[in-house]
């Protein structure tokens, strides 16, 4: 039985673009800067929610034709995303890296705006909206899995981030994108669009996980984690065939080479598997990740069910039995160039 938190009663608080011709970009200069329920979008009828999902192999996926995102979007995955969010927040001490407070500080006569790409459960947006109540937050996703009851300064909208956004140039002060590497075929194209909607000197904050094993103190994973190494080799090959490419190791240079940004800063955050309460929670999240990846590998059809089970079992065994395994998160922030 596929699990999905949903309540199809009353209003949805989710918005989607209206089907109409003509210019559908929101402008930055409306009188009512706080609410942007303008003519371009309409509130989703909750009865429409099921059409955003499709069930396969006992899991619930998005039904969007354009996104390459291969993972389920069901309760197990939503709980994993929330767990990873809590873990990163605990590790960083806050929900962001970089000069976010400076960028979002309240100024008279100017509405501050932030955009979250591939917002998922919307937990980042919700917490940020609480910390910065004067800022208007928008969260974009292809499935309505965020809360139906967002704070007043939050709006969730259905949008494929592989397509141009409806917002005008320079509309946002901050754009945030976390764990969206599997959501787009071409991260460089996404960066062009991020830069377009950011105001000059606006801030881009991004984070992606390495899809591969590592060990504490730089020990060689191929020696200490051979089955994990093999699991991720197959994962990366399989995703590459689907035109889903690794982003984390290249995030810094992709941003630099886009020629849209300056002041690019990166940080690698290592999370240890096991060893203490936090590490144990992380291990449980990686177990959920492995189960989701099992379905992706089976659906790809490049390996038999038995081979896939063997690969996943190998990763899980080392996850629980080899001390010192880590996974690495790349956190980057950059300022949009003042001109161009």
Is 118 one of the binding residues for ligand SAM (CB under 6 A)?
yes
Among 40, 81, 138, 208, binds ligand SAM (CB under 6 A): 81
> Nearest 5°: phi and psi at 25?
-95, 135
Among 141, 157, 193, 318, binds ligand SAM (CB under 6 A): 141
Among 70, 72, 98, 120, binds ligand SAM (CB under 6 A): 120
Specify the DSSP class assigned to residue 302.
S
Among 12, 147, 153, 179, binds ligand SAM (CB under 6 A): 179
Distances, alpha carbon 36 to alpha carbons 42, 111, 126, 131, 147, in Å: 11, 12, 17, 21, 19
Is 156 one of the binding residues for ligand SAM (CB under 6 A)?
no
Q: Choose the stretch contacting ligand SAM; rule: CB under 6 A; options: 119-127, 247-255, 263-271, 312-320.
A: 119-127
> Nearest 5°: phi and psi at 219?
-65, 150
Shortest distance in whole angstroms from residue 175 CB to ligand SAM: 12
Q: Which is nearer to ligand SAM, 40 or 208 (CB)?
A: 208
Q: Which is nearer to ligand SAM, 57 or 304 (CB)?
A: 57
Pattern of binders to ligand SAM over 44-63, x per CB under 6 A?
------------------x-
Q: Choose the stretch contacting ligand SAM; rule: CB under 6 A; options: 10-18, 141-149, 264-272, 332-340.
A: 141-149
Distance (Å, whole) CA 210 – CA 320: 19
Q: Of the candidates 145, 143, 182, 160, which has an alpha carbon nearest to the alpha carbon of residue 53? A: 143
Evaluate whether 73 touches 145 at the Cβ level (below 8 Å): yes
Cα dihedral 27, 28, 33, 37 sign: positive
DSSP 212-226: S-EEGGG--HHHH-H
Kindly list the residues in this chain that would bind ligand SAM in the complex (CB under 6 A): 62, 67, 69, 73, 81, 85, 118-121, 124, 140-143, 160-162, 178-180, 183-184
């Amino acid at each position: 039985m596929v699990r999905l938190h949903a309540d199809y009663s009353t209003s949805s608080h989710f918005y989607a673009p209206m089907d109409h011709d003509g210019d559908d970009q929101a402008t930055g200069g409306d009188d009512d800067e706080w609410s942007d329920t303008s003519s371009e979008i309409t509130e989703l009828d909750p009865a429409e929610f099921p059409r955003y999902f499709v069930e396969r192999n006992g899991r619930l996926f998005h039904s969007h034709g354009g996104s390459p995102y291969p993972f389920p979007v069901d309760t197990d995955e939503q709980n994993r995303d929330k767990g990873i969010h809590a873990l990163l927040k605990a590790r960083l001490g806050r929900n962001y890296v970089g000069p976010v407070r400076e960028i979002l500080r309240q100024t008279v006569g100017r509405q501050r705006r932030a955009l979250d790409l591939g917002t998922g459960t919307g937990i980042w947006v919700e917490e940020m909206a609480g910390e910065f109540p004067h800022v208007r937050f928008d969260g974009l996703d292809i499935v309505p899995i965020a809360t139906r009851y967002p704070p007043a300064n939050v709006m969730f909208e259905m949008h494929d981030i592989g397509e141009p956004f409806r917002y005008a140039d320079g509309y946002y002060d901050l754009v945030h994108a976390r764990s969206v590497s599997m959501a787009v075929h071409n991260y460089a194209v996404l960066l062009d669009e991020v830069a377009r909607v950011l105001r000059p000197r606006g801030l881009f904050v991004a984070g992606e996980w390495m899809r591969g094993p590592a060990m504490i103190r730089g020990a060689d994973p191929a020696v200490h984690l051979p089955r994990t190494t093999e699991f991720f080799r197959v994962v990366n090959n399989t995703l590459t065939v689907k035109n889903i490419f690794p982003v984390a190791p290249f995030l810094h240079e992709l941003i630099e080479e886009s020629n849209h940004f300056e002041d690019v800063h990166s940080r690698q955050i290592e999370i240890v598997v096991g060893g203490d309460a936090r590490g144990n929670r992380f291990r449980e999240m990686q177990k959920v990740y492995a189960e989701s990846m099992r379905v992706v590998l089976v659906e790809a059809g490049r390996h038999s069910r038995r081979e896939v089970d063997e690969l996943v079992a190998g990763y899980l065994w080392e996850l629980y039995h080899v001390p010192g395994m880590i996974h690495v998160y790349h956190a980057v922030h950059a300022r949009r160039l003042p001109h161009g």
